[in-house]
Amino acid sequence: MLTKRAAIDTLRQMLKEKNADSNYTNQFLYNILQTHARWLIKREISSGRIYKNNSLFQTLGCQEVIESSTIDNCCPVKTDCKIYRSKKRLPEMWIDNDGPVIKTITSVDGTTEFFVTSAKSWQNKRKDPYQRMQDLKYAFFADGYLWFPEHDPKRININGFYTDDIADKNECDGEAKPCIRYLDTAFGVPDWVESEMFSKALQQIFPTLQIQEQNQVDKNPTRKN
Protein backbone atom coordinates (compact mmCIF):
# COMPACT_ATOMS: atom_id res chain seq x y z
CA MET A 1 0.00 0.00 0.00
CA LEU A 2 1.15 3.54 -0.78
CA THR A 3 2.92 5.32 2.08
CA LYS A 4 2.30 8.96 2.94
CA ARG A 5 5.83 9.86 1.87
CA ALA A 6 5.44 8.09 -1.49
CA ALA A 7 2.11 9.85 -2.10
CA ILE A 8 3.62 13.26 -1.37
CA ASP A 9 6.68 12.53 -3.55
CA THR A 10 4.46 11.38 -6.42
CA LEU A 11 2.39 14.56 -6.27
CA ARG A 12 5.55 16.67 -6.07
CA GLN A 13 6.95 15.02 -9.20
CA MET A 14 3.68 15.59 -11.03
CA LEU A 15 3.82 19.27 -10.04
CA LYS A 16 7.35 19.59 -11.43
CA GLU A 17 6.10 18.26 -14.76
CA LYS A 18 3.50 21.04 -14.89
CA ASN A 19 5.37 23.88 -13.25
CA ALA A 20 9.03 24.43 -12.38
CA ASP A 21 8.01 25.93 -9.05
CA SER A 22 7.16 23.05 -6.71
CA ASN A 23 8.31 24.47 -3.38
CA TYR A 24 5.31 23.24 -1.44
CA THR A 25 5.64 21.85 2.05
CA ASN A 26 4.96 18.20 2.77
CA GLN A 27 2.10 19.22 5.07
CA PHE A 28 0.46 21.32 2.35
CA LEU A 29 0.60 18.52 -0.20
CA TYR A 30 -0.55 15.90 2.29
CA ASN A 31 -3.56 18.00 3.34
CA ILE A 32 -4.65 18.37 -0.28
CA LEU A 33 -4.30 14.64 -0.91
CA GLN A 34 -6.32 13.86 2.21
CA THR A 35 -9.06 16.29 1.19
CA HIS A 36 -9.65 14.40 -2.04
CA ALA A 37 -9.08 10.98 -0.50
CA ARG A 38 -11.96 11.61 1.91
CA TRP A 39 -14.65 12.23 -0.68
CA LEU A 40 -13.33 9.55 -3.03
CA ILE A 41 -13.37 6.96 -0.25
CA LYS A 42 -16.83 8.01 0.86
CA ARG A 43 -18.01 7.47 -2.72
CA GLU A 44 -16.39 4.02 -2.84
CA ILE A 45 -17.95 3.09 0.50
CA SER A 46 -21.38 3.99 -0.86
CA SER A 47 -20.76 1.73 -3.86
CA GLY A 48 -19.98 -1.18 -1.53
CA ARG A 49 -16.54 -1.78 -2.99
CA ILE A 50 -14.63 -0.88 0.19
CA TYR A 51 -16.42 -3.47 2.34
CA LYS A 52 -15.59 -6.20 -0.19
CA ASN A 53 -11.86 -5.54 0.13
CA ASN A 54 -10.70 -7.11 3.41
CA SER A 55 -7.10 -5.99 2.88
CA LEU A 56 -8.13 -2.40 3.64
CA PHE A 57 -9.36 -3.28 7.13
CA GLN A 58 -7.23 -3.61 10.26
CA THR A 59 -8.13 -4.99 13.67
CA LEU A 60 -7.46 -2.89 16.75
CA GLY A 61 -7.07 -5.59 19.36
CA CYS A 62 -7.61 -5.98 23.10
CA GLN A 63 -8.93 -2.48 23.76
CA GLU A 64 -10.02 -2.02 27.36
CA VAL A 65 -13.59 -1.02 28.17
CA ILE A 66 -14.52 0.84 31.35
CA GLU A 67 -17.75 1.80 33.07
CA SER A 68 -18.85 5.38 32.46
CA SER A 69 -21.25 7.69 34.23
CA THR A 70 -24.50 8.34 32.39
CA ILE A 71 -24.35 11.97 33.54
CA ASP A 72 -20.95 12.47 31.91
CA ASN A 73 -21.20 15.27 29.33
CA CYS A 74 -19.52 12.96 26.80
CA CYS A 75 -22.14 10.24 27.27
CA PRO A 76 -24.31 10.19 24.12
CA VAL A 77 -27.46 8.85 25.86
CA LYS A 78 -29.39 9.45 29.04
CA THR A 79 -30.44 6.10 30.40
CA ASP A 80 -31.18 4.33 33.65
CA CYS A 81 -29.01 1.35 32.69
CA LYS A 82 -25.27 1.04 33.01
CA ILE A 83 -23.14 2.18 30.12
CA TYR A 84 -19.55 1.40 29.25
CA ARG A 85 -17.06 2.91 26.81
CA SER A 86 -13.63 2.23 25.36
CA LYS A 87 -10.98 3.52 27.71
CA LYS A 88 -9.13 5.25 24.87
CA ARG A 89 -10.39 7.16 21.89
CA LEU A 90 -10.19 5.18 18.68
CA PRO A 91 -7.52 5.95 16.09
CA GLU A 92 -8.81 8.01 13.18
CA MET A 93 -10.89 6.09 10.64
CA TRP A 94 -12.25 6.95 7.23
CA ILE A 95 -15.90 7.92 7.50
CA ASP A 96 -19.09 7.62 5.50
CA ASN A 97 -22.48 9.25 6.05
CA ASP A 98 -23.07 7.08 9.13
CA GLY A 99 -19.72 7.75 10.81
CA PRO A 100 -16.48 5.77 11.08
CA VAL A 101 -16.22 2.71 8.85
CA ILE A 102 -16.36 -0.21 11.28
CA LYS A 103 -16.93 -3.73 9.97
CA THR A 104 -17.09 -5.68 13.25
CA ILE A 105 -16.76 -5.23 17.00
CA THR A 106 -16.26 -8.41 19.01
CA SER A 107 -15.12 -9.61 22.39
CA VAL A 108 -11.44 -10.57 22.40
CA ASP A 109 -12.26 -14.29 22.18
CA GLY A 110 -14.60 -13.64 19.24
CA THR A 111 -17.64 -15.25 20.88
CA THR A 112 -19.69 -12.06 21.27
CA GLU A 113 -20.44 -9.54 18.54
CA PHE A 114 -21.64 -5.99 19.14
CA PHE A 115 -23.74 -4.49 16.37
CA VAL A 116 -22.90 -0.92 15.42
CA THR A 117 -25.82 1.48 15.60
CA SER A 118 -26.51 5.08 16.62
CA ALA A 119 -27.40 6.27 20.11
CA LYS A 120 -30.83 7.39 18.92
CA SER A 121 -31.51 4.10 17.17
CA TRP A 122 -30.53 2.14 20.27
CA GLN A 123 -32.90 4.17 22.43
CA ASN A 124 -35.72 3.45 19.97
CA LYS A 125 -34.91 -0.26 20.09
CA ARG A 126 -35.20 -0.25 23.89
CA LYS A 127 -38.77 1.03 23.59
CA ASP A 128 -39.70 -1.79 21.21
CA PRO A 129 -40.67 -4.98 23.16
CA TYR A 130 -39.90 -7.20 20.18
CA GLN A 131 -36.39 -5.73 19.79
CA ARG A 132 -35.68 -6.17 23.50
CA MET A 133 -36.60 -9.84 23.30
CA GLN A 134 -33.84 -10.44 20.74
CA ASP A 135 -31.17 -9.74 23.35
CA LEU A 136 -28.72 -8.35 20.80
CA LYS A 137 -25.73 -6.38 22.00
CA TYR A 138 -25.04 -2.94 20.56
CA ALA A 139 -22.30 -0.33 20.38
CA PHE A 140 -22.28 3.21 19.06
CA PHE A 141 -19.59 5.76 18.32
CA ALA A 142 -19.51 9.22 19.92
CA ASP A 143 -16.84 11.75 20.90
CA GLY A 144 -14.10 9.45 19.64
CA TYR A 145 -15.13 6.53 21.87
CA LEU A 146 -17.15 3.35 21.43
CA TRP A 147 -20.05 3.10 23.89
CA PHE A 148 -21.69 -0.12 25.08
CA PRO A 149 -25.10 0.16 26.78
CA GLU A 150 -26.08 -2.52 29.30
CA HIS A 151 -23.26 -4.96 28.46
CA ASP A 152 -19.63 -4.81 29.56
CA PRO A 153 -17.34 -6.56 27.06
CA LYS A 154 -14.21 -5.94 29.21
CA ARG A 155 -11.92 -5.92 26.16
CA ILE A 156 -12.77 -5.70 22.48
CA ASN A 157 -11.40 -6.08 18.98
CA ILE A 158 -12.44 -3.43 16.45
CA ASN A 159 -12.10 -4.24 12.77
CA GLY A 160 -12.25 -0.96 10.87
CA PHE A 161 -10.98 1.09 7.95
CA TYR A 162 -8.29 3.19 9.67
CA THR A 163 -6.50 6.10 8.03
CA ASP A 164 -3.14 4.98 9.48
CA ASP A 165 -1.31 1.78 10.30
CA ILE A 166 -2.46 0.77 13.81
CA ALA A 167 -0.07 -2.12 14.44
CA ASP A 168 1.57 -0.20 17.29
CA LYS A 169 -1.77 0.44 19.02
CA ASN A 170 -2.84 -3.15 19.64
CA GLU A 171 -2.79 -4.05 23.32
CA CYS A 172 -2.90 -7.85 23.10
CA ASP A 173 0.72 -8.15 24.15
CA GLY A 174 3.30 -6.05 25.91
CA GLU A 175 5.97 -6.28 23.25
CA ALA A 176 7.62 -3.06 22.17
CA LYS A 177 6.50 -2.05 18.68
CA PRO A 178 9.00 -0.78 16.10
CA CYS A 179 9.13 2.99 15.76
CA ILE A 180 8.14 4.07 12.24
CA ARG A 181 8.28 7.64 10.98
CA TYR A 182 4.82 9.07 10.39
CA LEU A 183 5.40 9.72 6.67
CA ASP A 184 6.53 6.13 6.21
CA THR A 185 3.22 4.71 7.44
CA ALA A 186 0.50 3.58 5.03
CA PHE A 187 -1.71 6.26 3.50
CA GLY A 188 -4.69 3.91 3.66
CA VAL A 189 -6.10 4.82 0.24
CA PRO A 190 -7.37 2.04 -2.06
CA ASP A 191 -5.05 1.63 -5.05
CA TRP A 192 -7.90 2.01 -7.54
CA VAL A 193 -8.59 5.65 -6.49
CA GLU A 194 -4.96 6.80 -6.39
CA SER A 195 -4.86 8.16 -9.96
CA GLU A 196 -8.06 10.14 -9.50
CA MET A 197 -6.83 11.48 -6.16
CA PHE A 198 -3.59 12.77 -7.71
CA SER A 199 -5.48 14.26 -10.66
CA LYS A 200 -7.91 16.15 -8.43
CA ALA A 201 -5.05 17.37 -6.23
CA LEU A 202 -3.26 18.77 -9.30
CA GLN A 203 -6.41 20.51 -10.44
CA GLN A 204 -6.83 22.12 -7.04
CA ILE A 205 -3.28 23.50 -7.05
CA PHE A 206 -3.47 24.56 -10.71
CA PRO A 207 -7.13 25.52 -11.35
CA THR A 208 -6.34 26.26 -15.02
CA LEU A 209 -4.98 22.75 -15.58
CA GLN A 210 -8.42 21.17 -16.03
CA ILE A 211 -9.39 23.82 -18.60
CA GLN A 212 -6.11 23.34 -20.52
CA GLU A 213 -6.54 19.56 -20.61
CA GLN A 214 -10.15 19.87 -21.76
CA ASN A 215 -9.12 22.25 -24.55
CA GLN A 216 -6.50 19.73 -25.68
CA VAL A 217 -9.17 17.04 -25.86
CA ASP A 218 -11.56 19.31 -27.76
CA LYS A 219 -8.84 20.15 -30.31
CA ASN A 220 -7.95 16.51 -30.89
CA PRO A 221 -8.90 15.81 -34.54
CA THR A 222 -9.52 12.14 -33.78
CA ARG A 223 -12.10 12.92 -31.08
CA LYS A 224 -15.59 11.91 -32.09
CA ASN A 225 -18.46 14.34 -31.47
Q: Please answer whether residues 223 and 217 qualify as being in contact, where contact means their C-beta atoms are separated by less than 8 angstroms.
A: yes
Asked if residue 133 is part of any domain, the answer here is yes
Mean model confidence pLDDT for the chain: 82
HSE value, Cβ hemisphere, 13 Å, CA-based, for 219: 6
Domain presence at residue 167: no
8-state DSSP, 176: P
- ∠ CA 29-52-187, rounded to 5°: 20
128 with 87, same domain?
A: yes
3-state helix vs strand vs coil in the chain, percent to 5: 40, 20, 40
Alpha carbon distance 1, 187 (integer Å): 7
- Looking at the structure, do residues 40 and 82 belong to the same domain, yes or no? no
Q: With respect to residue 121, please indicate whether it lies within any of the assigned structural domains.
A: yes
Q: What is the DSSP string of 153-165?
A: -SEEEEEE-BSS-
pLDDT greater than 50 at residue 99: yes
Do 196 and 135 share a domain, yes or no?
A: no
Whether 44 and 97 share a structural domain: no
The reply to whether 220 falls in a domain is no
The answer to whether residue 112 is domain-embedded is yes
Closest among 142, 102, 138 to 123, alpha carbons compared? 138
> Higher confidence at residue 27 or residue 217?
27
Q: Are residues 35 and 71 in the same domain?
A: no
Overall average pLDDT of the 63-86 stretch: 75
Considering its fold, how many domains does the chain have in total? 2
Domain hosting residue 24, numbered range: 1-57+185-204
Angle between helices 194-205 and 4-18 (to 10 degrees): 50
Q: Predicted confidence band at 107 (pLDDT cuts at 50, 70, 90)?
A: very high
**Same-domain pairing of 135 and 198:** no
106 within domain boundaries: yes
